[in-house]
Chain A
Amino acid sequence: MRGATHAKWAACAVTVALAATACGGGGSGGSGDGSGIVRSSWGDPQNPVEPANTNEVQGGKVLDMLFRGLKKYDPKTGEAKDLIAEKIETTDSQNFTVTLKDGWTFSNGEKVTAKSFVDAWNYGAHVDNKQNNAPFFSDIKGYEDVHPESGSAKAKTMSGLVVKDDKTFTVALKEKFSTWPETLGYQAYAPLPKVFFDDHAGWLSKPIGNGPYTVESYAKGSEMKLRAWDGYKGEDKAQNGGVDLKVYTDNNTAYTDLMAGNLDLVDDVPAQQLKNVKNDLGDRYINQPALIIQTLVFPMYDKNWSKAGMEKVRRGLSMAINRDEITKEIFQETRTPAVDWTSPALGEKGGYKDMCGDACTYDPEQAKKLVAEGGGLPGGKVQITSNVDTGSHRVWMDAVCNSINNALGKGTCTVNPVGTFADFKNQLGAYKFTGPFRSGWQADYPLIQNFLEPLYYKNGSSNYGKFDNKAFNDLVDKANAETDRAKATTDFQNAQKILAEQMPAIPLWYQNGSAGYSENVSDVTLNQFSVPVYDQIKVN
């Protein structure tokens, strides 16, 4: 009977799906002479990688290997150290003179000059180029002319950037910004070669940078092959022959591949394996604090969530989430319940302090009361959205929903899992969410400013909830203008008081860097942003 065909089909599919997690095959090259290839887990970036456009973690990993900027953050301490910059001088915290070191080139042989930086920054800032990271240039004088809030640009370049000679350029900022040089290690400030402007499409398909690696090939959805660049002159020359970044849509599969010897490095150990990881990997498991916070952002562009009174509802939802229980059971304490909108990895001096208080403490009674006082949830329901291919997001989403349901009543909360990170990022940018959505923020540089301004300041580069609060914006402006570091930090902390009251984003927990590697490789470390320091990995 042909009617039975369907039954067979279905059964096979289940078998295939189960077996796929344990696919065999693949050995690895490498003989300990620095030519071995590191095979690492990865997820597809949203867009082709481009310094001023990539504002997500997966593309950021690639930029980290392809580019070197004026400064580099020390992988251990997070301190911003001069790299291509010989020196960055200022007398007034507003006008800076940048001098470059000799000897830096792009992998196509072109010299890295002052112009490489100035052109790249002007490109990144210009409104016509629609670069995600354009707001990072907004402190520079003349930004409004190339990137007005509405209408077309009045100028092609920012007046604040002036090339003096091949080795020198000056930067004039709109206002005082004492810690500005420390932001320059972020990839948005990377230099770009001429070919980027001359043959943009060609560059995108095979990016050329000045970092220790070059791109050999990229097959979307499958793998990117990066190879060590022999001509690289920097101190952090690659200690391996290259890195193969393999795309996984499920970190459990990546972990299984690591165990089966098909992969060397997993930088996102799945929550379900945390119980076994010490047993499986021993000291080949890394668990360390990182500059990452996970939040649930409210779509403030949706009237239902932003109208008056809803701040109580948003606070109530925050109080309905049992952070302690979830981080303890599901994440086996590889996450720490959040008490502010920054990260403990900043340190107390850096500005980390409990600024959320009661609003981040589980209290189901109070949560119920607040939600009722604020007029209730829109339609009596809340739906949480996140991608589910990384970070074990599905598991905690379910747990958060269960926690909300336990506090506010059955059937209140549902989850909306999105298959891939790239798809989720596209949905974020469409501003169509009708409920809170996940935002995992991995700092671009270890400053408290970076945890607040890009995320909650008006038109911030990653302000996906479109939060806009005058008191908050003013405090951030004030903090940036402050020349005294300690005072600036206090202003940023005060700005968080407004976040605690308005709750545009619920702080969930601080994420540790959590990685495991195979016996095939050694010298694996994570930097402060929890990104593997690929160039130092040795293949045995």
Chain B
Amino acid sequence: MPDKTAEKVTTATGEPIPAAAVATDAGPAPAKARSLWSDAWHDLRRQPLFIISSVLILLLLVIAIWPGLFTSASPRQADLAKHYLQKPQWGHFFSPEWLGYDGQGRSIYARVIYGARASITVGVGVTLCVTVLGTFIGMIAGYFGGWIDSILSRVTDVFLGIPFLLGALVVLNTFEKRSVWVVILALAFLGWTQIARVARGAVITIKQADYVMAAKALGASTTRILFRHILPNALAPIIVVATIALGGYIAAEATLSFLGIGLTEPTISWGGDVSAGREQLRNAPFTLIVPSVMVSVTVLSFLMFGDAVRNALDPKLR
């Protein structure tokens, strides 16, 4: 699951997409025959922010997919008698005792490694869902206008009016067992509005463009116009919003799990471990600090990545 987005982003930013020729019209540099995408890629490669965050994200993705590569210990193996709140052995890199043991006698290192999957799946999953859903709704509203636009825009407003965390608490509270998928759907259900608005705005601008008019005049079908001409050109702002939001969704999942309303057993989540560690703060601060640092680093990586992508794709904001 997580590797898909990585692929998607690189495709979006890396290779010229089929509609590149058309995009030239909208591109910021008409003098050179370079598309918005190759221009952005050219830009990104020179940004330290992008390089650092990409490396971290790649590492996190590998951890999420193959946690077994990083530790031989099981995150659920508990030995109270031997390991209750055992202090970290900072010198023993990557060993089960490296970051200490929690209040149940479980290796904290193993737990943060295995906890990555849930966080990243939620982040990437929600982002994919909101992007697809938001783009679709925004595009329909923007392209057709009129009463369709009115209805869809009002629906968007209604959802935008629901406070994100409060809404998530209410929705998640109705589920007794909350797996990764439940959390993804709940967050996506509440989070698609931003993208829908951005997509609608972009589509409204693009549909006035000459090449869209030309396609219409030549008798192209609505589907063809939408997916061949409009969507590829509306993609840039959508990707910017989506990549920045990704980090936010990971933080939201950690927050909800911390509050005991996010992921439930047996899923291992950083937020849940932070919550358990908070109670041990005085006796064993590392039980709180280690998973907290993991959440921070992950969220920061995705935010930095999002910022870099925005800088490259949306030069006006620089």
Contacts and interface: CB of A to CB of B under 8 A. Distances in A.
B247 A7 contact: yes
Nearest to A324: B81
Nearest to B288: A18
Contacts of B230: none
Interface in A313-327: 322, 325-326
Interface in A395-450: 395, 398-399, 402-403, 405-406, 410-411, 414-417, 419
A235 interface: no
A120 to B, nearest CB: 39
Interface stretch (B32-40, B42-50, B202-210, B277-285): B277-285
A394 B77 CA distance: 18
Q: Give the interface SS of chain A, mostly helix, strand, loop or mixed.
A: helix
Contacts of B259: 13, 17
Contact of A13 (B81, B165, B260): B165
Nearest to A398: B104
Q: Give the interface SS of chain B, mostly helix, strand, loop or mixed.
A: helix
Interface string B245-269: 1011101101100111000011000
A494 to B, nearest CB: 35
Interface string A251-274: 010000000000000000010110
Contact of B176 (A21, A276, A416): A416
Contacts of A10: 165, 248, 251-252, 254-255
Interface string A326-337: 101110000000
Contacts of A17: 255, 258-259
A272 to B, nearest CB: 4
A11 interface: yes
A388 B265 CA distance: 14
Interface in B212-270: 240-242, 244-245, 247-249, 251-252, 254-255, 258-260, 265-266
A334 to B, nearest CB: 15
B76 interface: yes
A276 to B, nearest CB: 6
B282 A273 contact: yes
Interface string B81-106: 10010000000000000000001111
B78 A14 contact: no
B241 A9 contact: no
A313 B37 CA distance: 63
A307 interface: no
Contact of B251 (A2, A7, A398, A417): A7
Contact of B76 (A2, A14, A275, A410): A410
B58 interface: no
B78 A1 contact: no
B266 A414 contact: yes
Interface in B121-172: 164-165
Interface residues of A, number: 44
A6 interface: yes
A14 B254 contact: yes
Contact of A9 (B84, B104, B165): B165
B194 interface: yes
Nearest to B160: A2
B183 to A, nearest CB: 13
B186 interface: no
Given A13-B255, A17-B258, A252-B279, A329 B164 contact: no
A322 B74 CA distance: 20
A398 B279 CA distance: 14
A308 interface: no
A99 B29 CA distance: 103
A416 to B, nearest CB: 7
Interface residues of B, number: 46
Contact of A402 (B78, B176, B240): B78
Given A6-B164, A399-B104, A414 B265 contact: yes
Nearest to B195: A3
B67 interface: no
B62 interface: no
B310 interface: yes
A270 B279 contact: yes
Contact of B80 (A273, A325, A394, A405): A325
Contacts of B84: 329-330
B290 interface: no
A219 interface: no
A402 B104 contact: yes
A330 B80 contact: yes
A330 B79 CA distance: 12
Contacts of B306: 3
B17 to A, nearest CB: 22
A322 B278 contact: no
A4 interface: yes
A405 B75 CA distance: 13
B310 A415 contact: no
Contact of A275 (B165, B176, B283): B283
B244 A3 contact: yes
Given A322-B80, A414-B266, A6 B104 contact: no
B115 interface: no
Given A3-B194, A330-B80, A415-B265, A276 B165 contact: no
B57 interface: no
8 contacts: A6-B248, A6-B249, A10-B165, A272-B103, A329-B105, A395-B104, A399-B104, A402-B104
Q: Which 5 A-B pairs have the closest CB atoms?
A: A7-B248, A402-B78, A6-B248, A10-B251, A3-B241
Interface of A: 1-11, 13-14, 17-18, 21, 252, 270, 272-273, 275-276, 322, 325-326, 328-330, 388, 394-395, 398-399, 402-403, 405-406, 410-411, 414-417, 419
Given A272-B280, A276-B282, 18 more contacts: A3-B245, A3-B306, A4-B244, A4-B245, A8-B248, A13-B255, A13-B259, A14-B258, A252-B279, A272-B103, A272-B279, A272-B282, A272-B283, A275-B283, A329-B80, A403-B80, A411-B266, A417-B260
